[in-house]
Structure 1
Amino acid sequence: MDILIFDLKGKFAHFRKFYTNSSSLSYSIPTRTVIEGIIGAVLGMERDSYYEILSKNMCNIALRKLCSTYKIMQTVNYIKATSEKYLVEPKEHTQIPFEIVTSEYNLVYRIYINSHDINIIDKLQYSIENKSFEYIPYLGAAPFNCSLHFVASVQGKETDCNSWQEISSVVNSQYICREGIDIGKKNLFLIKEKMPLDFTGDRIIREVNSYIYDENGQSIKVKLNCKAVNIKYNNVDENIVFM
């Protein structure tokens, strides 16, 4: 299994929770749909054109949180603009609480991707290595630009089911056996978030799952009812689970 690994780095992020309304609350990590959007931007795919190409059936994506994070609540002024003139001379304003994710240094998220279409992986690797992006990538909201850094291109090997394993990536809770989380690790801060997995072509959420990860970026020891993937690169030996 060919897997491309790269890092997303930035100072601030906002990954809007799909079930919020008046307050713009944020996840601590990018959802799979956000990652799809970043890949689509880098490759120059038009808005809403990549949902099937990068869907779960066509593309495997895993995510690892490499930093501890905290959140800041700010208030943002929105304007009601029914035509261009109201952008210049706005008449109506609404103040909305807006949650921003940041870290003591930089936000860093590691992405692992495998696709049935090898051309996508080749183009993505070329774009990341040469810093050649069709559209500017950002961490969930347009003001929060991010950089992409190539890490490795490796072969992954599937591991056995029903065994205890250290998993570096975010894990779908459905993949964890009953009583299958070891909570004895020092400074473990487990988070469980309900996040969208995929969109349909009409930008409607196709599937929602609950994901578990350590807020401080540690791996978690779990017993899985599915196969994980073992990868080795740059003196790193880790197991991941695709979202």
Structure 2
Amino acid sequence: MRRIKDKELINKYIKLHNIEDLFNDNIRSNLELLFFSKRELIFRDGGQVEYLMFFVEGKAKVYSSLKNGKLLLLDFYKELDTLGDLELITNDLASCNVEAIEPCVCLGIPLKTLKNIYHEDTKLLNFLCSSLGKKLKRSSRNSAINLMYPLESRLASYIISIGNSNSKVIRFDETLTIISELLGTSYRHLLRTLNNLCDKNILMKENDCYTILDYEKLEALAADIYK
């Protein structure tokens, strides 16, 4: 993580996302810009949380580490999602991993600054409550996708969720073993499913990446998209 205090750049992101009224003067003076590289862990399961963060650029995936060593996909975070809100309220350690899918930028407020004042700031508190509600709704929906849809649909949804709208090339940064864990399946089943999508001319494998040949079919196959 790289952190800077650049008032001009901070104000640029605040105006870009129309959140000028969200921060009072005391909080605004403590805002920092936090930069994360692709694949960097923003939160680590069981780690200390130092900031309340507001996503202003980029995308990250959220997954939990189970006691049996497996991983489980929970959610995706993007612009204006918040991180650290639950930990601020409960004073707990991070309960999941948050990993940058692409370079990410967050507005960060040190939790030690907020501990004794956030409950008096109605605008910020309402925003955090709304954000928590939206994440709970998304998490429930994503859990339903994990339980109720076949792997082909879950994989299509995952590819769309991690993809870049400006590119049809999908390059998996993780091993297929990790992806199979995130999607709750075996490596062999995942490989068969990827090959089936290639046989259907939806994907095409090229060296270490896949190209989307038919985005509409992939989207139709996904049905519900991880959000």
TM class by smaller structure: under 0.3
Q: Which has the higher contact order (CA 8 A, sep 6+)?
A: 1
Q: Which has the higher strand share?
A: 1
Q: Which has the higher helix share?
A: 2
- When the two structures are superposed, what TM-score results if normalisation uses the length of structure 2? 0.26
